[in-house]
Amino acid sequence: MSEIERALREVDANLDTAVADLLELISIPSVSGEDAGKAGIARAATWLDDALTAIGFSSRVVETACNPVVLARSEGAKEGGKRLLFYGHYDVQPVAPREAWTHDPFAPEIVEEDGARRFYGRGASDSKSQLWSFIEALRAWKAANGAFPAEIVIVLEGEEEMGSPSLGAFLEQHGEELHCDVAFICDSDMWSPTRPSITTQLKGLVHETVTINAPNPDLHSGHYGAAAANPIRILSKILSSLHDEKGRVAIDGFYDDVADLTESQRTRWRELSNELDASGGVSLAGGVIEDGYTAIEAMWGRPAVDFNGITGGNQGPGGRSVLPGSATARLTFRLVAGQSPETVRNRFRNFVSGRVPDGCSVEFEGPEGNAAVHLSESNPFLVAAARGLEAEWGRPAVLKGTGGAIPVVGALNDGLGLDCVVLGFILESDAIHAPDEHYDVERLHRGTRSWIRIFGEIRGGSAS
């Protein structure tokens, strides 16, 4: 019997115990971003630290300026052996609105439903089942084969749901310990309930806040509306000039550094469009897809600017005759490979500044941006992961892109120079971040088995 077969048997045999342990972890209310969650955060970190220690890791709870990181390492590295980092997060979203839940968010139990063995709870899907899948796989591999499949570093974060404020400092302080050949980020979703996926392209991100100020404070719009500068009018005109009639960003030079999609990529993505609507139930009616591209191409592979918020003057209810002294818009640029966040930011600011009338002024604000991250499709760990997933699920993994940021990927990539293989077993229907979040036993089981097959591929397959 091969290493892989032995480990798969161990996973199968231990399923009930793995589920019971996971439900215990989900029952700990480790909500980040709320003072009330602090005790749950501490309990979950300790619980995981104990669990990792029990299966043979050298584990500890590392305090940060905010929530602790659980950092575990396998002992006894072999010279020249591979070193793999696994990332997960144990913090969860707040439950509000509590009254919209039909299940207790922190008392999970198995429910037979729609032919599945489901469990409901905050964090059931995002992301406690995800981190538990690789921990249980590592445990089973060692139990079956006497050692971990490689040298392992595990990083379990406690503030992912609040924007990872301490992650950068943590990586900086512990960079030496975290040095690995690759990082596996287990916090993303499947392409469909029957087809796995790996995210190989993440767009870059630049947040900008732009405020137009009139030369006057708020005025009576009846008196001055027909004559004085109106920041809402100026801002609307600027925002509406940011796209041309083809849906392209109209900022000079915006596409200068953008490599167009390759034909092979377009061909593969168009096949996906046929297979399943990439919008996941979201209506794209009235949408803004750039001329000449499909929805998937626009969402995964084309740079964009989105308007996230706008505010100025009377916020209602009802009418008020105010000519506001200022108006503000919040927007985000989503970048693709080749684009520099700073260059995009500067071009945007020049674009806006050149359209502000004399006598009015503009203010900009925005945190440091980050560039797009692309993982080469020939990366050996990516190839191993794709093979392992295909072996478990019987269908090739979709190699996909995303317009959403995964902060840890940028941080590991920029900060430690680590390639990241981003995968996970979440489904759109799991109601993550929403009431009645849930997951099911089968996906925990098959997710764990997927890791076993990936370990096998890394040890004996293309990554060896």
Indicate the DSSP class of residue 68: P
CB of 90 to a copy of itself, least distance (A): 22
Contacts (CB under 8 A) with a copy of itself, residues 133-162: none
> Are the C-beta atoms of 412 and 111 separated by less than 8 Å?
no
Indicate the DSSP class of residue 128: I
Q: Applying CB under 8 A, which part among 323-331, 374-382, 384-392, 412-420 lies near a copy of itself? A: 323-331
Coil, helix or strand for 374? strand
Is residue 345 a contact point for a copy of itself (CB under 8 A)? no
Contacts (CB under 8 A) with a copy of itself, residues 365-394: 366-367
Tokens in use for 47?
Answer: 């619980």
Is residue 337 a contact point for a copy of itself (CB under 8 A)? no
CB of 397 to a copy of itself, least distance (A): 19
Q: How far apart are CA 384 and CA 254, in angstroms?
A: 36
What is the arrangement of strands in the sheet containing 361-365, beginning at the earlier edge strand?
A: 326-335, 204-213, 361-365
Is residue 236 a contact point for a copy of itself (CB under 8 A)? yes
Identify which of residues 313 and 415 has a Cβ nearer to a copy of itself in the complex: 313
Q: How far apart are CA 45 and CA 159, in angstroms?
A: 11
CB of 244 to a copy of itself, least distance (A): 12
> Are the C-beta atoms of 156 and 61 separated by less than 8 Å?
no
Q: How far apart are CA 328 and CA 349, in angstroms?
A: 14
Contacts (CB under 8 A) with a copy of itself, residues 109-128: none
Identify which of residues 27 and 188 has a Cβ nearer to a copy of itself in the complex: 188
Exposure on the CB side of residue 195, measured as CA atoms within 13 A: 11
Q: How far apart are CA 402 and CA 424, in angstroms?
A: 14
Coil, helix or strand for 61? strand
Is residue 356 a contact point for a copy of itself (CB under 8 A)? yes
Identify which of residues 194 and 315 has a Cβ nearer to a copy of itself in the complex: 315
Is residue 298 a contact point for a copy of itself (CB under 8 A)? yes
Is residue 323 a contact point for a copy of itself (CB under 8 A)? yes
> Are the C-beta atoms of 302 and 293 separated by less than 8 Å?
yes
Is residue 204 a contact point for a copy of itself (CB under 8 A)? no
Is residue 240 a contact point for a copy of itself (CB under 8 A)? yes
> Are the C-beta atoms of 295 and 284 separated by less than 8 Å?
yes
Which x/- pattern over 4-43 shows residues binding a copy of itself (rule: CB under 8 A)?
Answer: ----------------------------------------
Identify which of residues 309 and 417 has a Cβ nearer to a copy of itself in the complex: 309
Is residue 261 a contact point for a copy of itself (CB under 8 A)? no
Pick from 23, 62, 295, 431 the residue near a copy of itself by CB under 8 A.
Answer: 295
CB of 320 to a copy of itself, least distance (A): 6
SS3 letters for 198-224?
EEEEECEEEEEEEEEECCCCCEEHHHH
Is residue 314 a contact point for a copy of itself (CB under 8 A)? yes
